[in-house]
Structure 1
Amino acid sequence: MLSSVSTVSPPARRPRSAPAVLITGLHKQFGDDVVVTGLDLRARPGSVVAVAGRGKTTLLAMLAGVLPPDEGSVRVFGVDVWREWDRATRLVASTPLDGGAPSRAESGWAMLTGAGLLHGLRAEEVVAASTELLDLTGLGDAADEPVAHYTPGMRSRLHLARALLTGPRLLVLDEPFRGVDPDSARTIAALFDRFTASGGTVVFSGEQIDGVSDDVWLLGAR
């Protein structure tokens, strides 16, 4: 384990009794299109929650602090995302919230270490954490290859490594299992287990793998 940067095992900073996610009266529309409305949801620390139904990416964006709701509140570990944005978003890390895959000439190592430096981590922290995460995600041997050459499963694992780099307590993941091979799916599921064992929480959308999720938020079911 790393002493300076917690990657897969998030530190416990709040009582375990507080919900990891508490969503109340959430509403979002674009023009006349009501995407989500009246949502009341919660997730406990140490759980994996799958999100299904219409509006799932919009919900994830509001949870990750990317898209403000029109009404309602979103709290992560007791912190209101849209009243205390800076504080809340330090607890959260997300993967690209459009389900898209990168097409980059840079290597996986460069993408990961660059993200860590941009986040303000010290160079030695970034190197140690990136090395650990590339090994944990099974990408160590492909670290110097261009991301554009990665398979969908490798890209999904790299996105997960990047999200874990800053030691979040909540992972918000869009389509982590989409198009991945069985080995990648098992690796991602194992990382979920490791992350949640220390009190971290995962909320993800898209395809579900048997036995991965503890709960399902089914949107649009009134």
Structure 2
Amino acid sequence: MASPAIVLRDLTRRFPVRASGGVRELVAVDRVTLEVARGEVLGFLGPNGAGKTTTLLMLSTLLPPSAGTAEVEGFDVRTAPEEVRRRIGVVPTGARGVYTRLSGRENLRYFAALYGVPRREAEARAAALLDLVGLADRADDLVARYSTGMRARLGLAKALIHDPPVLLLDEPTLGLDPHGARVVRDIIAALNREGKTAVLATHDMVEADRLAHRVAIIDRGRIVALDRPEALKQRVAPDGEATLEDVFLALTARPLREAVRA
């Protein structure tokens, strides 16, 4: 049996917070334990501030864990961060991590060089990725002239330039119109069919339902549910009428949580 692509064991992150009585610790991620199989898309859902982005930052080696371990493709994020970075493609929320004063093609050349991709191979990959994300005809335009949807697609291409097996996607369709969001979802689905593993943090329940093999729901830093979307719906409504949104609201609504767990 193949080893998992991602393994989290009691992963914890605390932040010092100044309060009237001094400094206290805020636990943003609290002993999270889960595995993501190779070739799986794991939907990662939770309210704002629940710990989704903090978990992804730890997985991407940008934030050290306070306790516990996180491994990607068998490499620990603390003891082998360079090996982890070679194996992940990260799509951050917001600006997508691309440079607006460069063209789309120049962005991909730049990031390919950072990853040590040979120049000829980088040119071929850049051309193929720009075609994949529908930017071939705008490849040499400055990113400053790109729409929000175009920048999102370029951010996805950037994450793929070194051909990583694992993608960490933090709200990749945030701010996109329905057409742009569908294009990005279709690309993610196609990449998964090619064998890519992905952790997809999103507030879009339809997106998670369509793309994720399993869904993890995090609330107050803890995983409160982890299962296939259909199985989670059955837990909330055995008659099969529930949506993933119903599941999310039930599991993250304080008065309802214990009743749903039971």
Please indicate, yes or no, whether the TM-score normalized by the shorter chain is above 0.5.
yes
Post-superposition offset of 1:47: 1.3
Post-superposition offset of 1:40: 0.7
Higher helix share goes to which structure? 2
Is the contact between residue 177 and residue 207 of structure 1 (CA under 8 Å) also seen in structure 2?
Answer: no
Q: Tell me which residue corresponds to 2:130.
A: 134
Q: Tell me which residue corresponds to 1:214.
A: 213
Post-superposition offset of 1:194: 2.7
Q: Tell me which residue corresponds to 2:43.
A: 50
CA distance in 2, matches of 1:85, 1:105: 29
Q: Deviations over 1:118-162 (max 9, x none)?
A: 222221111110000000000111112221222221111101100
Post-superposition offset of 1:190: 2.6
Q: Deviations over 1:88-122 (max 9, x none)?
A: 221112123x5335561221111111111222222
Post-superposition offset of 1:185: 2.5
Q: 1:42 to 1:83 in 2, by over 3 A?
A: same
Which runs of 5 or more residues in structure 1 are unaligned? 1-15
Is the contact between residue 88 and residue 166 of structure 2 (CA under 8 Å) also seen in structure 1?
Answer: yes
RMSD over aligned Cα, in angstroms? 1.8
In the alignment, is residue 27 of structure 1 matched against residue 12 of structure 2?
A: yes
Structure of higher RCO (CA pairs closer than 8 Å, 6+ residues apart): 1
Give the secondary-structure state (helix, strand or coil) at the position aligned to 1:111: helix
Equivalent position amino acid for 1:213 in 2: A
Q: Deviations over 1:61-109 (max 9, x none)?
A: 111111110000111122222222222221112123x533556122111
Give the secondary-structure state (helix, strand or coil) at the position aligned to 1:219: strand
The number of aligned residues is 206
TM-score, normalised via structure 2 length: 0.73
Q: Tell me which residue corresponds to 2:246.
A: none
CA distance in 2, matches of 1:44, 1:182: 30
Identity among equivalent positions (%) equals 35
In the alignment, is residue 100 of structure 1 matched against residue 95 of structure 2?
A: yes
CA distance in 2, matches of 1:50, 1:150: 28
Give the secondary-structure state (helix, strand or coil) at the position aligned to 2:27: strand
Is the contact between residue 45 and residue 196 of structure 1 (CA under 8 Å) also seen in structure 2?
Answer: no
Question: Which one of the candidate residues 182, 185, 188 is aligned to 2:181?
Answer: 185
Larger Cα-atom Rg: 2
Post-superposition offset of 1:58: 0.6
TM-score, normalised via structure 1 length: 0.85
Question: Which one of the candidate residues 110, 128, 140 is aligned to 1:114?
Answer: 110
CA distance in 2, matches of 1:125, 1:183: 31
Is the contact between residue 26 and residue 37 of structure 1 (CA under 8 Å) also seen in structure 2?
Answer: yes
Which runs of 5 or more residues in structure 2 are unaligned? 17-24, 225-262
In the alignment, is residue 198 of structure 1 matched against residue 194 of structure 2?
A: yes
Equivalent position amino acid for 1:46 in 2: G
* 1:163-178 → structure 2 map (5 Å cutoff): 163-178=159-174
